[in-house]
Amino acid sequence: MEKLRETLRVRKERAILVAAVPGGAGQADDLAELTALAQSAGAVVVDRFQQKIRSIRSATYIGKGKADQLGERVKRFKADVVIFDNDLSPAQIRELEEIVGIKVLDRSELILDIFATRAKTKQAMLQVELAQLEYTYPRLTQMWPHLDTVTGAGGATGVGVVGGIGTKGPGEQQLEIDRRLVKRRIVELRRELANIDRRRVREITARRGLFKICIVGYTNAGKSTLLNALTNAGVLVEDRLFATLDTRTRRWSPARGVEVLISDTVGFVKNLPHQLVASFKATLEETVNADLLVHIIDVSSPDVLKQIESVDAVLDEIGCGDKPILMLLNKVDNLKNLSQLEMLQTVFADAVAISAKTGFGLNTLAEKVVEKYKGTELLVRVSASQSNGKVQSFLRAHGQIINEQYLDSFVVIDARLGQNQLPDLQRLHPDQLEIIEA
């Protein structure tokens, strides 16, 4: 019994994955994503257990009979941990651990564990710690009687806060002390994060006026590789989930005379724990403030459609569902069969096929971005005094001059220009500005 919930870490442990799909008739959810998550956390997946269940049994989620079957598989595969794709209540975890005899984790706990090992910056570490405490704290009361039976239980949070919760062998009194410590630590973390947040708000305010692009996508899709390819940002790229937990913003010039800001941010998966989304609010702010989202997908992944859905769901959740989006079909260099790419190009007609690794398609990407940056093309007639050379040079650099006519001390120019560039032109005080054709 000593393996129960001493820690929520799963490194090098032998894991059995479980997906229970309520509704009986429904398709069992395949475990590809949970497998990738478990492996990213360092676990070795020894067995997968997918079950359609008619309804969620409150005590064990999957029902006593299935839980017994799971217990047998735990013995057969000598597993150390069972990981559920579903989110479980503390009571369900307790009941299941009693039946199967080993540690049981749910999906949110697994994701929080991965985030905890990946966090490198101060902000990311504080954000993860807060999310872990908030997920764990409400469970402490109910978990304690159960933890009580485990000698030297390390408490329910993997982070080394409050001197390792419950290391002394928890009794009622210890529980009360720990709860108070956890509460105090949460307040402290919120305060520290708010300070970092204020600095960030200042940064964001300073960037007002510049066109902002945020690269979003499923974890491991190639966001950081793309940012590096475009801007030499030198961001860590790794073939594992959640390599990036913070945001990098760089200047990028997709065409002569055009400068934008482009950010790389934390990757998304299906059902990110709410506590995590809430704690990472500041990191996700970059996405919320963007003028254009670039949604990068890994076309070589067999789960690409599900991954797109997951990203769309998180975007909705953080209130970015209606932002302009440019889809990028990445890793085309890695495709074994072209029909997948063709299918995606049919579904997303506006998407650009690229390889962030080889640089294929990045020119087309730059052109598309410039189009979005400029907005709908307009035909304008501008007159300016010949002494105001700025108007003319602006149109030469940023527009397409169709006709120029010199009248006395004035020049009248017909030019094509993007709608979003009008404010910049207006700032140069032309004598007249007229939209001839929209």
Ligand X SMILES: Nc1nc2c(ncn2[C@@H]2O[C@H](COP(=O)(O)OP(=O)(O)OP(=O)(O)O)[C@@H](O)[C@H]2O)c(=O)[nH]1
Binding region for Mg ion (CB under 5 A): 223-224, 243-244
Residue from 176, 316, 333, 431 that binds ligand X (CB under 6 A)?
Answer: 333
80 or 264, CB closer to Mg ion?
264
Instruction: Output the CA torsion sign for 108, 111, 112, 113.
Output: positive
133 or 332, CB closer to ligand X?
332
Q: Which does 108 bind (CB under 5 to 8 A by kind): ligand X, Mg ion, none?
A: none
244 binds ligand X (CB under 6 A): yes
Residue from 123, 127, 132, 220 that binds ligand X (CB under 6 A)?
Answer: 220
Residue from 238, 259, 342, 434 that binds ligand X (CB under 6 A)?
Answer: 238
Binders in 389-428 for ligand X, by CB under 6 A: none
In the stretch 255-294, what mask flags binding to ligand X with x, by CB under 6 A? ------------x---------------------------
345 binds ligand X (CB under 6 A): no
Residue spans of beta strands (DSSP E) within 54-182? 81-84, 103-105
Residue from 123, 157, 225, 247 that binds ligand X (CB under 6 A)?
Answer: 225
Closest approach, Cβ 277 to Mg ion, in A, equals: 17
Helix (H) or strand (E) holding 143: helix 122-147
231 binds ligand X (CB under 6 A): no
237 binds ligand X (CB under 6 A): yes
5 or 223, CB closer to Mg ion?
223
Residue from 357, 419, 420, 428 that binds ligand X (CB under 6 A)?
Answer: 357
118 or 368, CB closer to ligand X?
118
Q: Which does 241 bind (CB under 5 to 8 A by kind): Mg ion, ligand X, none?
A: ligand X
DSSP count for the chain of H helices, then E strands: 14, 14
Could you give the CA distance from residue 31 to residue 189 in angstroms, rounded to a whole number?
A: 34
68 or 333, CB closer to ligand X?
333
60 or 263, CB closer to ligand X?
263
Closest approach, Cβ 365 to ligand X, in A, equals: 12
Could you give the CA distance from residue 255 to residue 253 in angstroms, rounded to a whole number?
A: 5
Residue from 88, 243, 315, 328 that binds ligand X (CB under 6 A)?
Answer: 243
323 binds ligand X (CB under 6 A): no
Amino acid of residue 222: G
Could you give the CA distance from residue 69 to residue 221 in angstroms, rounded to a whole number?
A: 36
Other CB atoms within a 10 A radius of the CB of residue 257 amount to 11
Other CB atoms within a 10 A radius of the CB of residue 17 amount to 24
Could you give the CA distance from residue 414 to residue 175 in angstroms, rounded to a whole number?
A: 76
Residue from 27, 55, 78, 239 that binds ligand X (CB under 6 A)?
Answer: 239
295 binds ligand X (CB under 6 A): no
157 or 244, CB closer to Mg ion?
244
List, in order, residues 6 or more apart from 289 with CB less than 8 Å away. 204, 212, 214
Residue spans of beta strands (DSSP E) within 109-222? 211-217
CA dihedral 126→130→132→134, nearest 10 degrees, is 180
Closest approach, Cβ 288 to ligand X, in A, equals: 18
Residue in this structure with the two tokens 């049981």, named with its chain if needed: 104
- The three-class DSSP label of residue 89 is coil
107 or 223, CB closer to Mg ion?
223
Closest approach, Cβ 244 to ligand X, in A, equals: 3
Could you give the CA distance from residue 67 to residue 97 in angstroms, rounded to a whole number?
A: 10
Closest approach, Cβ 414 to ligand X, in A, equals: 42
73 or 357, CB closer to ligand X?
357
Binders in 96-135 for ligand X, by CB under 6 A: none
Q: Residue with the closest Cβ to ligand X?
A: 267
List, in order, residues 6 or more apart from 324 with CB less than 8 Å away. 291, 292, 293, 372
Tokens linked to 115: 């985030």
List, in order, residues 6 or more apart from 159 with CB less than 8 Å away. 116, 128, 129, 132, 133
356 binds ligand X (CB under 6 A): yes
Tokens linked to 185: 């630590």
73 or 240, CB closer to ligand X?
240
**DSSP letter string over 229-281?**
HHH-------SSTT---S-EEEEEEEETTEEEEEEE---B-TT--HHHHHHTH
Total residues belonging to the chain: 438
Q: Enumerate binding residues for ligand X (CB under 6 A).
A: 217, 219-225, 237-239, 241-244, 267, 330-331, 333-334, 355-357
